[in-house]
Amino acid sequence: MIPIEPVSLSFSAALLLGLSFGSGPCNIACLPYLGPVFTTSDQGIRGAWRTLLPFSLGRVTGYTLLAGGAGWAGLWVEELVSGPWVRWLLGGATILVALSIVWRRRTAGCTTNCQTPPQVTFDTAPSTSATKVAIGSLPGGLYLMGLGMAFNPCAPLTTLILAAATSASLLAGISLGAGFALGAVLLPTLIFAFGVAHFGQQIRHHLSQHRIALENTSVGLLILIGGATAMGWITP
């Protein structure tokens, strides 16, 4: 068995590692999961944070917990994140987001014969317990989606876990995880906020006469991607 060489990272190095990860593969991996969500909403650039905030918080939580756990308990954390529960979490959260979009549209009183489909908003005052569940489930699903995305193993994440385990310190692991998380979510958040959100809004504007079909297609894609992820057919 080849021994594993220890890895040492500082907070700034972990931040740069996260930036390099977030500037490339991360955006591609996030697009199939967040893209359909933006096409079901008229939030645009100003309201994009309502989608990105819970998703990004989930990723920050995941990276910080992983690195902190590795610093406290060692390399067994790396074996833990390679289990099937990670894809079940991400796939299930993606399906939950899709069902939440459908549920919100139904609680808004819309049917397939609506002339003007309602916007997916977060500031509507709920009047029933069912509406409260609908309002809470979409941000919660996005948070779990981000959490599941963070738990997916990749080369930079493996380096982070190894460095945290080398430190043999819970606080050092948390610090490394937080630095990596900030770097990993920064660029994707900006790209999705100013690029994908605007693109999704323009699609809905130019295809306004087909909004119901567009929303149904987006929901179907989320369910399909979520199911394929849970089955292990898609690896983010």
How far, in Å, CA of 102 to CA of 71, rounded? 41
Count of other CB atoms within 10 angstroms of residue 218: 22
Give the closest residue to 96 by CA, choosing from 52, 133, 44.
Answer: 133
Which DSSP letter does residue 210 get?
Answer: G
Sign of the C-alpha dihedral computed for residues 162, 166, 168 and 171 taken in this order: negative
How far, in Å, CA of 33 to CA of 222, rounded? 7
Per-10-residue mean pLDDT of the chain, 236 residues long, equals 58 91 79 79 72 92 92 74 80 89 71 45 40 53 90 83 88 94 90 72 65 80 90 80
pLDDT at 100 (0 to 100): 86
pLDDT at 200 (0 to 100): 66
pLDDT at 25 (0 to 100): 72
How far, in Å, CA of 192 to CA of 19, rounded? 15
**pLDDT one-digit tens code per residue, 85-125:** 888 888 898 899 888 888 877 776 544 444 444 444 434 43
How far, in Å, CA of 104 to CA of 100, rounded? 6
pLDDT at 121 (0 to 100): 43
* Helix residue spans in 23-154 (DSSP H): 25-39, 49-73, 76-80, 85-107, 129-150
φ and ψ at residue 174, rounded to 5 degrees? -60, -40
Structure token digits, residue 197: 């959100």
Tokens 């894809």 correspond to what residue? 87
pLDDT at 108 (0 to 100): 62
**pLDDT one-digit tens code per residue, 124-136:** 434 344 333 333 4
The pTM score is 0.74
Q: Given phi > 0 = left and psi -120 to 50 = alpha, else beta, which region is 169?
A: beta
pLDDT at 123 (0 to 100): 42
